[in-house]
Chains A and B, each alone.
Chain A
Amino acid sequence: MNTLLEDILVIDFSQFLSGPSAGLRLADMGARVIKVEKPGSGDICRSLYVSDVKLEGGESTIFHAINRNKESFVADLKETASLASVKKLLAKADVVIHNFRPGVMQRLGLDYEIIKAINPSVVYGEISGYGQEGEWKDLPGQDLLVQAVSGITYLTGNATDQPVPMGVAVADIIAGTHLVQGILAGLFRRMQTGEGLLVQVSMLESLLDFQFEVLTCFLNDGYALPSRSTVNGAHAYIAAPYGIYKTADGYLAIAMAPIEKLATLLPLETLHGYTDPRDWFDKRDEIKALLAEALIRKTTAEWLAILEPEDIWCADVYDYDDLIASESFRLLKMEQWVISNGLRVKTTRCPARVNGAVVTYEKGAPGLGEHSKKIMKEFDL
């Protein structure tokens, strides 16, 4: 038995990625997740992304990745009869998720205090962009914008680059991850106390937590700002050789390694002077520049053959084609096929393995309102 959550009903009002990624994780743990979507267009993510890759019928691949294994119930929350149906559904819910801006659920009459009155043991999870108060609370909680104010854009790339955002929606995904932690903790607490719980995260607080190690450094170091390497930057706080280097035919990543050992193995005469480990940080730019000049001379495979047997922490740098073709990827069984709206869509699976088995589900993303009738009947709405 690999299902961790049984008989858990999640009613999910969220859109885009942060909230829906939380719903997806709960679904993969075995919960039943019903998306409540507005009539006509539904979750904005259904049509949001403008990448040139679309599924048959013009649907966003991304929506399908995020919303597999869920049901869709259409309701107009501004309409009295629909709202009454939704409240009836919420009375049966174990978990509620939303990611509206602060105040929206209050205006709809669906905030925690109201839902708690009809369902005292509900675990109510909400994600905001910047928290419930303060100068930014009403601004859009959008991933790039939250990255921008969090300081994180000064950690990636080289010192000569302008601020570099992480190219994956890291604020959305981490906030969704934290929300699931809090929701599950709430469900566990409910088993002991019978009480419900309000769980709140914000994308900004989540990104601050993500930076907790280096932010703590900043907070205790006279507020010294991070300084990225000039060359081959990979982490502003880590000494040479840490970085990605160009080789004769590709790239090679080297993590932590003693410089004099590298000097011998490459071999590289000019690197021999750096015997004091303190210099590996203070002089990292010149050390990395020397390494870059040497590493370009052989192929990645040649370097791996020299460095790996000597326990130097290094790796090839894969793109998706390389990873998919690798034995390691095949063994992880990371792909799964789902049936979305009659279409077969290949996506990735839940990242954790439970009792030695991968967790997969065939159920894809729902069509807009696909389950409305069934849900109306089942819950007598």
Chain B
Amino acid sequence: MQLPLQNITVLEICQYLSGPCAGLRLADFGARVIKVEPVKGEAGRKLAIKNMWVDDNSLLFNTINRNKESFAIDLSDPEDMRWLKKLIGNADILIHNFRPGAMERKSLGYEDVIKINPSIVYAQISGYGETGPLQKKPGQDLLVQCLSGVTYTTGSAPDAPTALGLGIGDYLCGNQAVQFIIAALIKSKKTGNGTLLQLSLLESLIDFQFEFYTTYFQSGKMPERAGFNNAHALLGAPYGIYKAADGYIAIAMVPIRKLNEILQCEVLEKYEEQDGFQKRDEIKKIIAGRIATKDSRYWIEKSKELDLWVMPVLNWRQMKASQGYQVLDMEQTIQLPEGATFVTTRCPVRFNGKIIKSGKPAPQVGENNDCIKASLT
């Protein structure tokens, strides 16, 4: 099958996660993605987690930047800038995630670039938008989470504000950029007009909480996390994760009476369905007391019999061992030039029933300079 973005060229002038995860998705959808990076390489190359490396570059970098090319240049060198401008003239999409003003200072702002290529889709990602008191603040995920209010949605009410344990702002913003970039590409091919797209981690995280904010706007009161086993501030009992005798189970929306058919708990009988929100903490504590008395397997089997919305809580090893995970064929092996390999996940979207894998590794700094220059002359 012809991948959707075949023959599309993307210039990714980005570092770390937000922009590069957008580039990765566009690459997996069939685009040619060229990382335009400084001659010393993008900063993400040296950012490792658990000190895991693939050659000189971190495993983290290799995870985010597989299936791309690298064009390494010095933006203060006029000759290199001429090459870049030529490349821009031949590109369909430009993404950058520099702080506000940085690209404009290099004469690479949207107004400059649109003169070189009037149909280009130009997407810029910032931490907090281009104006205002936060524009100089680092657009770092934890800091943006903390300013977005999202840390008051997770954990239970007595806990301190709790950060979501992944780079959610970076990831969502990059993924939203992909959406708008492809939509703008459709427009560009129809009308010949380019588009400026501006996204920020903060706007992405507010959008992420749109159900909460809309509720807040009505009540004037921040939705409060449940006091016990919170899993969603807007939802009542039993919604949450419970400790069984040997592990954990998650219980989603299940009518209290229905749940009690498997719990067989006398004290729970006095609660009506409409108590589920107002009295959620006391109800959840009663449920927790009962769940703790038997193994998770027991509760899962009982739930299955009645088609209740209950699942086991798995860690990655348990997940990896499950048939439900294995059938997804989610892993792929990346071949490195020296013969080594590493395993990572694949693109999550399927086209015409087929999964998309690409074994192409991340590029070395400037790996494609010669080839790209040759194609431009």
Q: Which A residues are closer than 8 A to B by beta carbons?
A: 1, 4-6, 17, 25, 29, 48-53, 55, 61-62, 64-66, 130-131, 133-136, 139-140, 142-157, 161-170, 173-174, 177-182, 184-189, 191-193, 197-202, 204-206, 208-221, 223-226, 228, 233-238, 242-244, 246, 251, 253, 255-256, 278, 281, 313-323, 326-328, 331-332, 334-335, 345-348, 350-356
Contacts A53-B215, A169-B211, A319-B222 hold; do A156 and B60 have CB atoms under 8 A apart? no
Q: Given the complex, which residues of A lie within 8 Å of B314, measured CB to CB?
A: 148-151
Minimum distance in angstroms from A144 CB to a CB of chain B:
5
Please tell me if the beta carbons of A4 and B195 are within 8 angstroms of each other in the complex: yes
Q: Given the complex, which residues of A lie within 8 Å of B319, measured CB to CB?
A: 149-151
Contacts A62-B215, A140-B252 hold; do A220 and B184 have CB atoms under 8 A apart? no
Please tell me if the beta carbons of B208 and A168 are within 8 angstroms of each other in the complex: yes
Please tell me if the beta carbons of B312 and A164 are within 8 angstroms of each other in the complex: no
Contacts A25-B179, A212-B63, A255-B142 hold; do A51 and B203 have CB atoms under 8 A apart? no
Taking CB as reference atom, which chain A residue is nearest B344?
A: A216
Minimum distance in angstroms from A358 CB to a CB of chain B:
9
Partner of B350, one of A17, A164, A191, A200: A200
Please tell me if the beta carbons of B231 and A165 are within 8 angstroms of each other in the complex: yes
Q: B199 within 8 Å of A by Cβ?
A: yes
Please tell me if the beta carbons of B189 and A213 are within 8 angstroms of each other in the complex: no
Please tell me if the beta carbons of B59 and A217 are within 8 angstroms of each other in the complex: yes
Partner of A62, one of B29, B60, B214: B214
Q: B39 within 8 Å of A by Cβ?
A: no
Partner of A255, one of B140, B165, B202: B140
Q: B377 within 8 Å of A by Cβ?
A: no
Q: Chain B, interface size: which category?
A: 35 or more
Q: B4 within 8 Å of A by Cβ?
A: yes
Partner of A193, one of B2, B190, B250: B2
A1, A140, A143, A353: which has the most chain B beta carbons within 10 Å? A353
Q: B264 within 8 Å of A by Cβ?
A: no
**Roughly how many angstroms separate A173 CA and B319 CA in the complex, as a whole number?**
22
Q: B372 within 8 Å of A by Cβ?
A: no
Please tell me if the beta carbons of B189 and A212 are within 8 angstroms of each other in the complex: no
B60, B145, B213, B312: which has the most chain A beta carbons within 10 Å? B213
Minimum distance in angstroms from B9 CB to a CB of chain A:
14
Please tell me if the beta carbons of B25 and A4 are within 8 angstroms of each other in the complex: no
Contacts A163-B241, A237-B49 hold; do A255 and B138 have CB atoms under 8 A apart? yes
* 29 pairs, CB–CB < 8 Å, chain A vs chain B: A53-B221, A64-B214, A148-B241, A148-B248, A149-B319, A151-B318, A154-B316, A164-B162, A165-B241, A167-B230, A168-B209, A182-B350, A185-B5, A205-B330, A225-B315, A235-B167, A244-B163, A278-B51, A315-B144, A317-B147, A319-B152, A323-B147, A326-B147, A328-B128, A346-B217, A348-B206, A350-B207, A351-B204, A355-B195
Please tell me if the beta carbons of B309 and A213 are within 8 angstroms of each other in the complex: no
Taking CB as reference atom, which chain B residue is nearest A5?
A: B183
Please tell me if the beta carbons of B146 and A155 are within 8 angstroms of each other in the complex: no
Q: Which B residues are closer than 8 A to A by beta carbons?
A: 2-5, 17, 25, 29, 49-52, 59-60, 63-64, 128-129, 131-134, 137-138, 140-155, 159-168, 171-172, 175-180, 182-187, 189-190, 193, 195-200, 202-204, 206-219, 221-223, 225, 230-236, 239-241, 243, 248-253, 276-278, 309-320, 322-328, 330-331, 342-345, 347-353
Please tell me if the beta carbons of A130 and B324 are within 8 angstroms of each other in the complex: yes
Minimum distance in angstroms from B18 CB to a CB of chain A:
13
Please tell me if the beta carbons of B222 and A321 are within 8 angstroms of each other in the complex: yes
Question: Binding site of B, secondary structure by majority: helix, strand, loop or mixed?
Answer: mixed
Please tell me if the beta carbons of B198 and A234 are within 8 angstroms of each other in the complex: no
Q: Given the complex, which residues of A lie within 8 Å of B180, measured CB to CB?
A: 4, 29, 352, 354
Q: Given the complex, which residues of B lie within 8 Å of A255, measured CB to CB?
A: 138, 140-143
**Roughly how many angstroms separate A72 CA and B325 CA in the complex, as a whole number?**
36
In the complex, number of A-B residue pairs with CB atoms less than 8 Å apart: 459
Please tell me if the beta carbons of B163 and A235 are within 8 angstroms of each other in the complex: yes
Taking CB as reference atom, which chain B residue is nearest A338?
A: B214
Please tell me if the beta carbons of B187 and A4 are within 8 angstroms of each other in the complex: yes
Q: Given the complex, which residues of A lie within 8 Å of B182, measured CB to CB?
A: 181, 184-185, 187-188
**Roughly how many angstroms separate A194 CA and B133 CA in the complex, as a whole number?**
48
Contacts A212-B344, A219-B343, A225-B316 hold; do A184 and B179 have CB atoms under 8 A apart? yes
Taking CB as reference atom, which chain A residue is nearest B29?
A: A185
A167-B154, A327-B133 are known; give 16 further A-B pairs, CB within 8 A.
A51-B234, A133-B327, A135-B327, A151-B315, A151-B316, A156-B163, A156-B165, A178-B348, A193-B2, A253-B143, A315-B143, A315-B144, A320-B212, A351-B176, A351-B199, A352-B203
**Roughly how many angstroms separate A146 CA and B157 CA in the complex, as a whole number?**
23
Please tell me if the beta carbons of A219 and B155 are within 8 angstroms of each other in the complex: no
Please tell me if the beta carbons of B146 and A317 are within 8 angstroms of each other in the complex: yes
Please tell me if the beta carbons of A209 and B312 are within 8 angstroms of each other in the complex: no
Taking CB as reference atom, which chain A residue is nearest B153?
A: A167
Partner of A347, one of B155, B213, B250, B343: B213
**Roughly how many angstroms separate A225 CA and B145 CA in the complex, as a whole number?**
25
Minimum distance in angstroms from A139 CB to a CB of chain B:
7
Q: Given the complex, which residues of B lie within 8 Å of A354, measured CB to CB?
A: 180, 184, 195-197
Please tell me if the beta carbons of B149 and A320 are within 8 angstroms of each other in the complex: yes
Minimum distance in angstroms from A98 CB to a CB of chain B:
15
**Roughly how many angstroms separate A226 CA and B74 CA in the complex, as a whole number?**
39
Taking CB as reference atom, which chain B residue is nearest A201?
A: B349
